[in-house]
Every structure is written in C-alpha cells, then in structure tokens.
Structure 1
Amino acid sequence: MDKREERWRELCAKAAVEYDPQKLLELVTEITRLLGEKYGRAQANPDEPSPESSGKASDT
C-alpha cells in the first residue's frame, strides 16, 4: 500500500467518527482530492455531478 492510499484510508476512518461538520467537510475534501490523484481524474467542478452519477440517460 503506497502512502497516498494509506493516507486516504486513514482520513476515511477519521471521517467515519467526526461529528464537527466543518472538520468532516475538510476530511471529505481531502479524501476526494487524494482519490482524484489516484485515479487520474481532474475535477474542474466537484459540485457538478458526473454523467454516470446524475441518473440521466445519455442521448446515445
């Protein structure tokens, strides 16, 4: 397991027990960034759902 994977797993464990909404948001933001690096995805707007997760059928 590389350090990046170890780090996001550690952050997930912390997020699972975090009650403070601001701290939870910070943890989730960092987890998202690390996973984006791992899978090579650049998210220009993380608030915008991806086509796969939007639930809308494509026109193709």
Structure 2
Amino acid sequence: MTKLNIETNMADPDAFYQKLIDAHSGLTDEQSHFMNAKLVLLLANHIGDADVLLEALALARAD
C-alpha cells in the first residue's frame, strides 16, 4: 500500500523551488551538500513515518 503522496501538494511549487535554489546561493559544493543533508533529515524527522520514508528513499533511488 502506497503511503507517500507524490501528487503536487503545494500552492506554488515553482516559488518553493526558486527559494530552494536561492538558499544554496554563495555556498561551496561541500556546504551545499551539507545543507541538503540537513534539510533531508529535518524533513524526515517531521514526517516521522518510517514506511513513508522508506518508500521515498526507494522512489528517489529508482529515478
């Protein structure tokens, strides 16, 4: 049973994407990778459901 919502779930995904890109502005590659890792862990903690997170990992790895 799929628990991960992969449908668009934001009012303005393009605006969020731009904010995400902007957040990396001026960072070195190492700092950018570290920020991405921190963001993933913060959001994973917020989600908290291991099944959803494992589904997301599998989907991200497959593509």
TM band (smaller chain): 0.3 to 0.5
What TM-score does the superposition give when structure 1 sets the normalisation length? 0.45
Bigger helix share:
2
